[in-house]
Structure 1
Amino acid sequence: MGDGIGRYGGTEGRMSWENRLPQWLRRRPREDAAAARSDRPALLLATAAAGLPLAPAAHPVAFSCSCERIGCPTPARHPVSFAWQTQSTNDRETVERWANDQPEANFITATGMVHDVLDVPLEAGRAALGRLLAEGIDVGPVAESGGLPTPQGGGGEGRMLFFTATRGTPEDEDEWWPCELDCHPETMDEHPGLRWHSRGSYVLVPPARLPDDRTVDWVRGPEHPLPDPLTLLEALADACAKYAEAADEHGDRHSVAWPLHH
Protein backbone atom coordinates (compact mmCIF):
# COMPACT_ATOMS: atom_id res chain seq x y z
CA MET A 1 0.00 0.00 0.00
CA GLY A 2 2.98 2.25 0.38
CA ASP A 3 3.79 4.65 3.16
CA GLY A 4 1.33 7.25 1.93
CA ILE A 5 -1.49 5.78 3.99
CA GLY A 6 -0.03 6.90 7.30
CA ARG A 7 1.65 10.24 7.87
CA TYR A 8 4.99 8.55 8.22
CA GLY A 9 6.24 5.05 7.75
CA GLY A 10 9.15 4.94 10.18
CA THR A 11 11.61 3.81 7.50
CA GLU A 12 14.23 6.52 7.90
CA GLY A 13 17.28 6.41 10.17
CA ARG A 14 16.67 6.03 13.87
CA MET A 15 18.58 9.14 14.93
CA SER A 16 16.88 11.18 12.22
CA TRP A 17 13.42 10.32 13.55
CA GLU A 18 14.53 10.71 17.16
CA ASN A 19 15.49 14.30 16.39
CA ARG A 20 12.51 15.16 14.22
CA LEU A 21 9.68 13.23 15.83
CA PRO A 22 8.64 15.67 18.60
CA GLN A 23 8.24 18.56 16.14
CA TRP A 24 6.49 16.36 13.60
CA LEU A 25 4.01 14.94 16.10
CA ARG A 26 2.92 18.41 17.18
CA ARG A 27 1.76 19.20 13.66
CA ARG A 28 -1.91 18.39 13.02
CA PRO A 29 -2.68 20.16 9.73
CA ARG A 30 -6.34 20.03 8.79
CA GLU A 31 -5.23 19.38 5.21
CA ASP A 32 -4.22 15.85 6.28
CA ALA A 33 -7.73 15.05 7.47
CA ALA A 34 -9.32 16.61 4.40
CA ALA A 35 -7.07 14.62 2.08
CA ALA A 36 -7.79 11.40 3.96
CA ARG A 37 -11.52 12.03 3.81
CA SER A 38 -11.41 12.55 0.04
CA ASP A 39 -9.67 9.19 -0.34
CA ARG A 40 -11.98 7.48 2.14
CA PRO A 41 -12.92 4.39 0.06
CA ALA A 42 -9.28 3.60 -0.72
CA LEU A 43 -8.29 3.97 2.93
CA LEU A 44 -11.10 1.69 4.09
CA LEU A 45 -10.21 -0.90 1.46
CA ALA A 46 -6.57 -0.76 2.52
CA THR A 47 -7.64 -1.38 6.11
CA ALA A 48 -9.79 -4.33 5.05
CA ALA A 49 -6.95 -5.69 2.89
CA ALA A 50 -4.75 -5.67 6.00
CA GLY A 51 -7.22 -8.12 7.54
CA LEU A 52 -9.04 -5.78 9.93
CA PRO A 53 -12.79 -6.58 10.05
CA LEU A 54 -14.95 -3.49 9.48
CA ALA A 55 -18.59 -2.53 10.04
CA PRO A 56 -20.49 0.74 9.41
CA ALA A 57 -20.78 3.18 12.29
CA ALA A 58 -22.70 6.33 13.09
CA HIS A 59 -21.49 9.76 12.00
CA PRO A 60 -21.82 13.29 13.36
CA VAL A 61 -24.81 15.45 12.54
CA ALA A 62 -24.03 18.97 13.73
CA PHE A 63 -23.13 18.44 17.40
CA SER A 64 -25.14 15.26 17.69
CA CYS A 65 -25.19 11.71 16.33
CA SER A 66 -26.79 10.24 13.25
CA CYS A 67 -28.44 7.54 15.39
CA GLU A 68 -30.86 10.22 16.69
CA ARG A 69 -30.73 8.69 20.15
CA ILE A 70 -31.41 11.40 22.70
CA GLY A 71 -28.29 11.89 24.77
CA CYS A 72 -26.22 9.38 22.78
CA PRO A 73 -23.25 8.67 25.10
CA THR A 74 -20.77 8.04 22.26
CA PRO A 75 -21.90 10.23 19.34
CA ALA A 76 -20.50 9.12 15.97
CA ARG A 77 -18.36 6.46 17.69
CA HIS A 78 -20.60 3.39 17.75
CA PRO A 79 -21.73 0.79 15.18
CA VAL A 80 -24.99 1.18 13.33
CA SER A 81 -26.06 -2.43 13.88
CA PHE A 82 -26.36 -4.30 17.18
CA ALA A 83 -24.97 -7.27 15.23
CA TRP A 84 -21.68 -5.50 14.53
CA GLN A 85 -19.56 -8.43 15.71
CA THR A 86 -21.04 -10.87 13.20
CA GLN A 87 -21.43 -8.15 10.56
CA SER A 88 -17.76 -7.13 10.68
CA THR A 89 -15.83 -8.26 7.62
CA ASN A 90 -12.75 -7.56 5.55
CA ASP A 91 -14.42 -8.71 2.33
CA ARG A 92 -13.44 -6.18 -0.33
CA GLU A 93 -16.76 -6.11 -2.20
CA THR A 94 -18.78 -5.69 0.98
CA VAL A 95 -16.60 -2.90 2.37
CA GLU A 96 -16.58 -1.11 -0.99
CA ARG A 97 -20.36 -1.33 -1.22
CA TRP A 98 -20.78 0.01 2.32
CA ALA A 99 -18.38 2.88 1.63
CA ASN A 100 -20.20 3.88 -1.56
CA ASP A 101 -23.74 3.39 -0.24
CA GLN A 102 -23.08 5.18 3.07
CA PRO A 103 -20.77 8.08 2.16
CA GLU A 104 -21.18 9.83 5.54
CA ALA A 105 -20.72 6.75 7.71
CA ASN A 106 -17.77 6.19 9.98
CA PHE A 107 -16.49 2.63 10.34
CA ILE A 108 -15.49 0.57 13.35
CA THR A 109 -13.20 -2.42 13.49
CA ALA A 110 -14.06 -5.27 15.83
CA THR A 111 -11.11 -6.11 18.08
CA GLY A 112 -10.18 -9.50 19.49
CA MET A 113 -10.65 -11.29 16.17
CA VAL A 114 -7.53 -10.39 14.20
CA HIS A 115 -6.13 -7.54 16.26
CA ASP A 116 -6.28 -5.73 19.57
CA VAL A 117 -5.87 -2.01 20.20
CA LEU A 118 -3.93 -0.37 23.01
CA ASP A 119 -5.59 2.98 23.57
CA VAL A 120 -3.83 5.77 25.50
CA PRO A 121 -4.13 9.55 26.02
CA LEU A 122 -2.79 11.39 23.02
CA GLU A 123 0.05 13.13 24.83
CA ALA A 124 1.20 9.86 26.40
CA GLY A 125 0.88 8.04 23.10
CA ARG A 126 3.03 10.53 21.24
CA ALA A 127 5.75 10.26 23.88
CA ALA A 128 5.60 6.46 23.78
CA LEU A 129 5.68 6.36 19.99
CA GLY A 130 8.80 8.50 19.95
CA ARG A 131 10.49 6.21 22.47
CA LEU A 132 9.51 3.02 20.64
CA LEU A 133 10.78 4.23 17.29
CA ALA A 134 14.00 5.59 18.80
CA GLU A 135 14.62 2.16 20.35
CA GLY A 136 14.05 0.45 17.02
CA ILE A 137 10.99 -1.48 18.21
CA ASP A 138 8.57 -2.55 15.51
CA VAL A 139 5.37 -0.53 15.81
CA GLY A 140 2.29 -1.45 13.83
CA PRO A 141 -0.53 0.80 12.63
CA VAL A 142 -1.19 3.83 14.84
CA ALA A 143 -4.12 6.25 14.73
CA GLU A 144 -4.97 9.49 16.48
CA SER A 145 -8.55 9.91 17.64
CA GLY A 146 -10.30 13.12 18.54
CA GLY A 147 -7.39 15.39 19.38
CA LEU A 148 -7.93 19.14 19.32
CA PRO A 149 -4.96 21.51 18.91
CA THR A 150 -4.20 23.68 21.94
CA PRO A 151 -2.24 26.94 22.21
CA GLN A 152 0.54 24.99 23.92
CA GLY A 153 0.80 22.61 20.98
CA GLY A 154 -0.75 19.62 22.75
CA GLY A 155 -3.48 17.33 21.54
CA GLY A 156 -6.44 18.27 23.69
CA GLU A 157 -8.54 15.35 24.93
CA GLY A 158 -7.52 12.98 22.18
CA ARG A 159 -6.42 9.36 22.19
CA MET A 160 -3.71 7.45 20.36
CA LEU A 161 -4.57 3.94 19.17
CA PHE A 162 -1.83 1.31 18.77
CA PHE A 163 -3.02 -1.63 16.65
CA THR A 164 -1.46 -4.96 17.62
CA ALA A 165 -1.92 -8.67 17.09
CA THR A 166 -4.68 -10.10 19.25
CA ARG A 167 -4.33 -12.07 22.45
CA GLY A 168 -8.10 -12.46 22.68
CA THR A 169 -8.83 -15.64 20.74
CA PRO A 170 -6.82 -18.50 22.28
CA GLU A 171 -7.47 -22.02 21.05
CA ASP A 172 -8.11 -23.07 24.65
CA GLU A 173 -10.88 -20.98 26.22
CA ASP A 174 -9.29 -21.62 29.63
CA GLU A 175 -6.40 -19.48 28.42
CA TRP A 176 -8.66 -16.51 27.64
CA TRP A 177 -6.63 -13.36 28.27
CA PRO A 178 -7.92 -12.01 31.60
CA CYS A 179 -6.67 -8.47 32.04
CA GLU A 180 -7.82 -5.52 34.10
CA LEU A 181 -6.90 -3.36 31.11
CA ASP A 182 -9.66 -4.86 28.95
CA CYS A 183 -11.93 -2.13 27.64
CA HIS A 184 -15.58 -2.39 26.70
CA PRO A 185 -17.09 0.08 24.21
CA GLU A 186 -19.62 1.49 26.66
CA THR A 187 -16.84 2.49 29.09
CA MET A 188 -14.61 4.18 26.54
CA ASP A 189 -14.77 7.55 28.32
CA GLU A 190 -14.40 6.22 31.86
CA HIS A 191 -10.71 5.31 31.84
CA PRO A 192 -8.33 8.15 30.97
CA GLY A 193 -5.31 5.85 31.26
CA LEU A 194 -4.32 2.84 29.16
CA ARG A 195 -7.18 0.73 27.77
CA TRP A 196 -6.92 -2.63 26.05
CA HIS A 197 -9.53 -3.28 23.38
CA SER A 198 -9.82 -7.03 22.89
CA ARG A 199 -12.64 -9.48 22.27
CA GLY A 200 -16.05 -7.82 22.47
CA SER A 201 -14.79 -4.30 21.86
CA TYR A 202 -14.20 -2.03 18.88
CA VAL A 203 -12.56 1.24 17.84
CA LEU A 204 -13.16 3.68 15.03
CA VAL A 205 -10.86 3.38 12.03
CA PRO A 206 -9.61 6.29 9.93
CA PRO A 207 -10.81 8.31 8.27
CA ALA A 208 -13.60 9.12 10.71
CA ARG A 209 -15.31 12.31 11.79
CA LEU A 210 -16.39 13.20 15.32
CA PRO A 211 -18.49 16.10 16.61
CA ASP A 212 -16.79 19.48 16.92
CA ASP A 213 -14.71 18.89 13.77
CA ARG A 214 -12.54 16.27 15.46
CA THR A 215 -11.26 13.39 13.37
CA VAL A 216 -9.64 9.97 13.52
CA ASP A 217 -6.57 9.77 11.27
CA TRP A 218 -3.74 7.35 10.56
CA VAL A 219 -0.31 8.25 11.89
CA ARG A 220 1.08 4.93 10.62
CA GLY A 221 -1.12 3.16 8.12
CA PRO A 222 -2.54 -0.38 8.12
CA GLU A 223 0.23 -1.57 5.80
CA HIS A 224 2.46 -1.99 8.85
CA PRO A 225 2.51 -5.53 10.36
CA LEU A 226 0.74 -6.03 13.67
CA PRO A 227 3.21 -6.42 16.57
CA ASP A 228 2.77 -8.44 19.75
CA PRO A 229 1.08 -6.06 22.22
CA LEU A 230 3.53 -6.99 24.98
CA THR A 231 6.39 -5.40 23.00
CA LEU A 232 4.65 -2.02 23.31
CA LEU A 233 3.15 -2.32 26.76
CA GLU A 234 6.09 -1.13 28.87
CA ALA A 235 6.60 2.08 26.89
CA LEU A 236 2.87 2.82 26.89
CA ALA A 237 2.54 2.13 30.61
CA ASP A 238 5.51 4.37 31.44
CA ALA A 239 4.15 7.18 29.27
CA CYS A 240 0.70 6.90 30.87
CA ALA A 241 2.23 7.02 34.35
CA LYS A 242 4.15 10.21 33.48
CA TYR A 243 1.01 11.67 31.89
CA ALA A 244 -0.99 10.92 35.06
CA GLU A 245 1.70 12.42 37.27
CA ALA A 246 1.78 15.60 35.21
CA ALA A 247 -2.02 15.81 35.22
CA ASP A 248 -2.09 15.33 38.98
CA GLU A 249 0.38 18.17 39.44
CA HIS A 250 -2.05 20.38 37.52
CA GLY A 251 -4.95 19.30 39.70
CA ASP A 252 -6.57 16.88 37.25
CA ARG A 253 -7.03 13.90 39.57
CA HIS A 254 -9.26 12.09 37.10
CA SER A 255 -6.28 11.29 34.89
CA VAL A 256 -4.86 7.98 36.09
CA ALA A 257 -2.37 5.65 34.47
CA TRP A 258 -4.47 2.49 34.76
CA PRO A 259 -8.18 1.71 34.88
CA LEU A 260 -9.28 1.06 38.44
CA HIS A 261 -12.48 -0.79 37.60
CA HIS A 262 -14.71 -1.87 34.72
Structure 2
Amino acid sequence: MGSDNSRHRGGESRFSQWLRRLPGAGSGSADTTETAASREDLLLAAAAAGFPLAQAAYPEGYGCSCDRIGCPTPGRHPVSFAWQTQASTEAEQVARWLRAQPEANFITATGINHDVLDVPAEAGQSALEVLDAAEVEVGPVARSGEGPQARVLFFTATRGTPDDEDEWWPCELDCHPETMDEHPGLRWHCRGSYVLVPPAKLPSEGSVAWLRGPELPLPDPLTLLEALTDACARYAGEGAGHESVAWPLHH
Protein backbone atom coordinates (compact mmCIF):
# COMPACT_ATOMS: atom_id res chain seq x y z
CA MET A 1 0.00 0.00 0.00
CA GLY A 2 1.42 3.40 -0.93
CA SER A 3 2.06 6.14 1.63
CA ASP A 4 -0.73 8.28 0.23
CA ASN A 5 -3.21 5.51 0.91
CA SER A 6 -2.03 5.00 4.47
CA ARG A 7 -2.20 8.72 5.08
CA HIS A 8 -5.80 8.95 4.00
CA ARG A 9 -7.08 5.54 5.05
CA GLY A 10 -10.46 5.98 6.72
CA GLY A 11 -10.87 9.57 5.54
CA GLU A 12 -9.08 12.67 6.72
CA SER A 13 -6.85 11.96 9.71
CA ARG A 14 -6.90 13.91 12.93
CA PHE A 15 -3.34 14.96 12.16
CA SER A 16 -4.48 16.47 8.84
CA GLN A 17 -7.14 18.42 10.71
CA TRP A 18 -4.47 19.77 13.06
CA LEU A 19 -2.36 20.87 10.09
CA ARG A 20 -5.26 22.88 8.70
CA ARG A 21 -5.52 24.75 11.99
CA LEU A 22 -1.91 25.96 11.91
CA PRO A 23 -1.06 29.59 11.07
CA GLY A 24 -0.77 30.03 7.33
CA ALA A 25 -3.14 27.17 6.58
CA GLY A 26 -5.86 29.67 5.83
CA SER A 27 -6.12 33.37 5.13
CA GLY A 28 -5.67 36.09 7.72
CA SER A 29 -3.94 35.90 11.11
CA ALA A 30 -4.63 33.02 13.46
CA ASP A 31 -6.07 33.55 16.90
CA THR A 32 -3.29 33.28 19.50
CA THR A 33 -5.17 30.80 21.65
CA GLU A 34 -5.99 28.55 18.70
CA THR A 35 -2.39 28.76 17.48
CA ALA A 36 -1.10 27.63 20.87
CA ALA A 37 -3.65 24.81 20.99
CA SER A 38 -2.72 23.64 17.48
CA ARG A 39 0.97 23.65 18.37
CA GLU A 40 0.32 21.67 21.54
CA ASP A 41 -1.75 19.16 19.56
CA LEU A 42 1.08 18.60 17.09
CA LEU A 43 3.67 18.13 19.83
CA LEU A 44 1.41 15.77 21.74
CA ALA A 45 0.88 13.82 18.50
CA ALA A 46 4.65 13.38 18.23
CA ALA A 47 4.85 12.24 21.86
CA ALA A 48 1.95 9.83 21.29
CA ALA A 49 3.85 8.39 18.32
CA GLY A 50 6.65 7.50 20.73
CA PHE A 51 9.04 10.38 20.00
CA PRO A 52 10.79 11.34 23.30
CA LEU A 53 10.61 15.15 23.60
CA ALA A 54 12.64 17.68 25.58
CA GLN A 55 12.62 21.47 25.70
CA ALA A 56 14.84 23.37 23.29
CA ALA A 57 15.85 26.99 22.84
CA TYR A 58 13.98 29.29 20.47
CA PRO A 59 14.92 32.31 18.31
CA GLU A 60 14.82 35.58 20.20
CA GLY A 61 15.36 38.70 18.10
CA TYR A 62 18.46 38.04 16.01
CA GLY A 63 19.83 35.56 18.53
CA CYS A 64 18.89 32.70 20.79
CA SER A 65 16.84 32.45 23.97
CA CYS A 66 19.80 30.80 25.71
CA ASP A 67 22.36 32.84 27.64
CA ARG A 68 25.31 31.85 25.44
CA ILE A 69 26.80 34.91 23.80
CA GLY A 70 27.02 34.38 20.05
CA CYS A 71 25.20 31.04 20.16
CA PRO A 72 26.22 29.25 16.92
CA THR A 73 22.91 27.37 16.62
CA PRO A 74 20.16 29.71 17.83
CA GLY A 75 16.88 27.94 18.51
CA ARG A 76 18.28 24.55 17.50
CA HIS A 77 19.62 23.02 20.73
CA PRO A 78 18.24 21.62 24.01
CA VAL A 79 18.03 23.94 27.00
CA SER A 80 19.45 21.34 29.39
CA PHE A 81 22.59 19.21 29.27
CA ALA A 82 20.39 16.46 30.74
CA TRP A 83 18.11 16.36 27.68
CA GLN A 84 18.69 12.64 27.13
CA THR A 85 17.34 11.71 30.56
CA GLN A 86 14.64 14.40 30.52
CA ALA A 87 13.20 13.42 27.12
CA SER A 88 9.67 12.14 27.63
CA THR A 89 6.69 10.79 25.73
CA GLU A 90 4.31 11.60 28.60
CA ALA A 91 1.60 14.02 27.46
CA GLU A 92 1.30 15.65 30.89
CA GLN A 93 5.03 16.41 31.02
CA VAL A 94 5.07 17.88 27.50
CA ALA A 95 2.02 20.02 28.34
CA ARG A 96 3.70 21.30 31.52
CA TRP A 97 6.80 22.31 29.58
CA LEU A 98 4.71 24.09 26.99
CA ARG A 99 2.72 26.04 29.54
CA ALA A 100 5.84 27.00 31.46
CA GLN A 101 7.57 28.25 28.28
CA PRO A 102 5.05 28.65 25.41
CA GLU A 103 7.70 29.80 22.92
CA ALA A 104 10.06 26.88 23.46
CA ASN A 105 11.05 24.64 20.61
CA PHE A 106 11.31 20.91 21.29
CA ILE A 107 13.87 18.31 20.30
CA THR A 108 13.25 14.60 19.99
CA ALA A 109 15.95 12.26 21.25
CA THR A 110 16.91 9.71 18.63
CA GLY A 111 18.19 6.18 19.08
CA ILE A 112 15.54 5.35 21.69
CA ASN A 113 12.28 4.80 19.83
CA HIS A 114 13.29 6.12 16.42
CA ASP A 115 16.19 7.33 14.28
CA VAL A 116 16.26 10.16 11.73
CA LEU A 117 17.92 10.20 8.31
CA ASP A 118 18.74 13.84 7.59
CA VAL A 119 19.55 15.01 4.05
CA PRO A 120 19.74 18.26 2.06
CA ALA A 121 16.24 19.36 1.05
CA GLU A 122 16.85 19.04 -2.69
CA ALA A 123 18.10 15.48 -2.26
CA GLY A 124 15.26 14.67 0.13
CA GLN A 125 12.55 15.85 -2.24
CA SER A 126 14.12 13.88 -5.10
CA ALA A 127 14.32 10.75 -2.96
CA LEU A 128 10.69 11.15 -1.91
CA GLU A 129 9.60 11.09 -5.56
CA VAL A 130 11.62 7.92 -6.19
CA LEU A 131 10.33 6.19 -3.06
CA ASP A 132 6.71 7.15 -3.76
CA ALA A 133 6.99 5.88 -7.34
CA ALA A 134 8.28 2.57 -5.96
CA GLU A 135 5.42 2.51 -3.44
CA VAL A 136 7.84 2.33 -0.50
CA GLU A 137 6.31 3.17 2.88
CA VAL A 138 8.26 6.32 3.75
CA GLY A 139 6.81 7.17 7.17
CA PRO A 140 6.97 10.55 8.92
CA VAL A 141 8.93 13.25 7.07
CA ALA A 142 9.72 16.84 8.10
CA ARG A 143 11.38 19.83 6.44
CA SER A 144 13.74 22.09 8.38
CA GLY A 145 14.52 25.61 7.17
CA GLU A 146 14.51 27.21 3.74
CA GLY A 147 17.02 27.97 1.01
CA PRO A 148 20.42 26.28 0.56
CA GLN A 149 20.61 25.15 4.21
CA ALA A 150 17.19 23.45 4.23
CA ARG A 151 17.06 19.79 5.23
CA VAL A 152 14.52 16.97 4.95
CA LEU A 153 14.23 14.61 7.91
CA PHE A 154 13.08 11.00 7.45
CA PHE A 155 11.91 9.43 10.72
CA THR A 156 12.61 5.69 10.83
CA ALA A 157 12.67 2.75 13.20
CA THR A 158 15.78 2.80 15.37
CA ARG A 159 18.78 0.53 15.12
CA GLY A 160 18.87 0.74 18.93
CA THR A 161 21.99 -0.83 20.42
CA PRO A 162 23.23 -3.60 18.11
CA ASP A 163 24.84 -6.67 19.72
CA ASP A 164 27.94 -5.94 17.68
CA GLU A 165 29.13 -2.50 18.81
CA ASP A 166 31.24 -2.24 15.63
CA GLU A 167 27.94 -1.87 13.81
CA TRP A 168 27.04 1.26 15.81
CA TRP A 169 28.50 4.74 15.48
CA PRO A 170 27.82 8.00 17.30
CA CYS A 171 26.50 10.89 15.23
CA GLU A 172 29.12 13.44 16.23
CA LEU A 173 27.61 16.08 13.93
CA ASP A 174 24.47 16.20 16.02
CA CYS A 175 26.39 16.84 19.21
CA HIS A 176 28.12 19.71 17.42
CA PRO A 177 25.58 20.98 14.86
CA GLU A 178 27.68 24.05 14.07
CA THR A 179 29.79 21.71 11.91
CA MET A 180 26.83 20.99 9.62
CA ASP A 181 28.24 22.98 6.70
CA GLU A 182 31.32 20.72 6.67
CA HIS A 183 29.12 17.66 6.08
CA PRO A 184 26.49 18.45 3.43
CA GLY A 185 25.43 14.86 2.78
CA LEU A 186 23.34 12.37 4.72
CA ARG A 187 23.50 12.27 8.52
CA TRP A 188 22.06 9.41 10.56
CA HIS A 189 20.73 10.61 13.90
CA CYS A 190 20.92 7.63 16.22
CA ARG A 191 21.86 7.00 19.85
CA GLY A 192 23.02 10.15 21.63
CA SER A 193 21.60 12.53 19.02
CA TYR A 194 18.53 14.69 18.50
CA VAL A 195 16.62 16.76 15.94
CA LEU A 196 14.09 19.56 16.30
CA VAL A 197 10.57 18.18 16.15
CA PRO A 198 7.81 20.10 14.33
CA PRO A 199 6.44 22.61 14.81
CA ALA A 200 9.55 24.66 15.59
CA LYS A 201 10.70 28.17 14.79
CA LEU A 202 14.10 28.97 13.33
CA PRO A 203 15.88 32.34 12.97
CA SER A 204 14.87 34.62 10.08
CA GLU A 205 11.30 33.31 9.91
CA GLY A 206 12.45 29.76 9.25
CA SER A 207 10.59 26.77 10.62
CA VAL A 208 10.50 23.00 11.00
CA ALA A 209 7.24 21.50 9.74
CA TRP A 210 5.79 18.10 8.94
CA LEU A 211 5.52 17.03 5.32
CA ARG A 212 4.05 13.68 6.44
CA GLY A 213 2.86 13.33 9.99
CA PRO A 214 4.11 11.32 12.98
CA GLU A 215 1.00 9.14 12.83
CA LEU A 216 2.57 7.10 10.01
CA PRO A 217 4.39 3.82 10.80
CA LEU A 218 8.16 4.08 11.11
CA PRO A 219 9.92 2.29 8.22
CA ASP A 220 13.09 0.25 8.47
CA PRO A 221 15.89 2.75 7.67
CA LEU A 222 17.51 0.29 5.28
CA THR A 223 14.48 0.52 2.97
CA LEU A 224 15.23 4.23 2.43
CA LEU A 225 19.02 4.24 2.30
CA GLU A 226 19.61 3.48 -1.38
CA ALA A 227 17.26 6.23 -2.59
CA LEU A 228 18.68 8.72 -0.09
CA THR A 229 22.35 7.97 -0.83
CA ASP A 230 21.75 8.13 -4.57
CA ALA A 231 19.95 11.46 -4.20
CA CYS A 232 22.72 12.85 -1.99
CA ALA A 233 25.37 11.75 -4.48
CA ARG A 234 23.54 13.57 -7.28
CA TYR A 235 23.13 16.62 -5.01
CA ALA A 236 26.83 16.70 -4.09
CA GLY A 237 27.82 16.52 -7.74
CA GLU A 238 30.16 14.36 -9.77
CA GLY A 239 33.08 13.04 -7.77
CA ALA A 240 31.33 13.30 -4.40
CA GLY A 241 30.57 9.60 -4.36
CA HIS A 242 29.43 8.02 -1.12
CA GLU A 243 32.54 8.77 0.92
CA SER A 244 30.77 11.45 2.97
CA VAL A 245 27.87 9.30 4.18
CA ALA A 246 27.63 9.04 7.95
CA TRP A 247 27.34 5.26 8.41
CA PRO A 248 29.54 2.18 7.88
CA LEU A 249 29.14 0.54 4.53
CA HIS A 250 29.59 -2.99 5.92
CA HIS A 251 26.83 -4.89 7.72
Partner in structure 2 of residue 31 of structure 1: 24
Distance in 2 (alpha carbons) for counterparts of 1:40 and 1:98: 13
Deviation at 1:62, TM superposition (A): 1.3
Specify the code of the residue in structure 2 equivalent to 1:212. Answer: S
TM-score by length of 2: 0.80
Q: 198, 207, 216: which is aligned to 1:206? A: 198
Deviation at 1:37, TM superposition (A): 5.5
Q: Identify unmatched segments of 5+ residues in structure 2.
A: 7-22
Distance in 2 (alpha carbons) for counterparts of 1:143 and 1:219: 5
Partner in structure 2 of residue 10 of structure 1: 4
Q: What SS does the aligned partner of 1:90 have? A: coil
The answer to whether the 8 A contact 2:186-2:245 is kept is no
Specify the code of the residue in structure 1 equivalent to 2:5. Answer: T
Specify the code of the residue in structure 2 equivalent to 1:185. Answer: C
Q: What SS does the aligned partner of 1:212 have? A: coil
Corresponding position: 1:185 with 2:185? no
Specify the code of the residue in structure 2 equivalent to 1:218. Answer: W
Deviation at 1:226, TM superposition (A): 0.5
Corresponding position: 1:259 with 2:244? yes
* Closer/same/farther in 2, CA of residues 57 and 180 from structure 1, 3 Å limit: closer
Corresponding position: 1:137 with 2:147? no
Give the CA RMSD over aligned residues. 2.9
* Closer/same/farther in 2, CA of residues 111 and 260 from structure 1, 3 Å limit: closer
* Closer/same/farther in 2, CA of residues 97 and 233 from structure 1, 3 Å limit: same
Deviation at 1:98, TM superposition (A): 1.0
Distance in 2 (alpha carbons) for counterparts of 1:49 and 1:93: 11
Distance in 1 (alpha carbons) for counterparts of 2:165 and 2:98: 37
After superposition, give the CA deviation of every residue in 1:92-123 in whole Å (9 maximum; x if it has no partner): 11011112221100000000001100000000
Corresponding position: 1:164 with 2:146? no
Paired residues, number: 223
* Closer/same/farther in 2, CA of residues 207 and 52 from structure 1, 3 Å limit: same
Corresponding position: 1:242 with 2:234? yes
TM-score by length of 1: 0.77
Partner in structure 2 of residue 117 of structure 1: 116
Deviation at 1:63, TM superposition (A): 1.5
Q: Where does 1:8-157 land on structure 2 (aligned, <5 Å)? A: 10-11=4-5, 31-32=24-25, 38=36, 39-148=38-147, 156-157=148-149
Q: Greater relative contact order: 1 or 2 (C-alpha under 8 angstroms, separation 6 or more)?
A: 1
The answer to whether the 8 A contact 2:141-2:212 is kept is yes
Deviation at 1:185, TM superposition (A): 2.7
Deviation at 1:74, TM superposition (A): 1.1
* Closer/same/farther in 2, CA of residues 43 and 261 from structure 1, 3 Å limit: closer
* Closer/same/farther in 2, CA of residues 41 and 31 from structure 1, 3 Å limit: same
The answer to whether the 8 A contact 1:56-1:105 is kept is yes
After superposition, give the CA deviation of every residue in 1:135-177 in whole Å (9 maximum; x if it has no partner): 00011100000114xxxxxxx320000000001323x3x3463
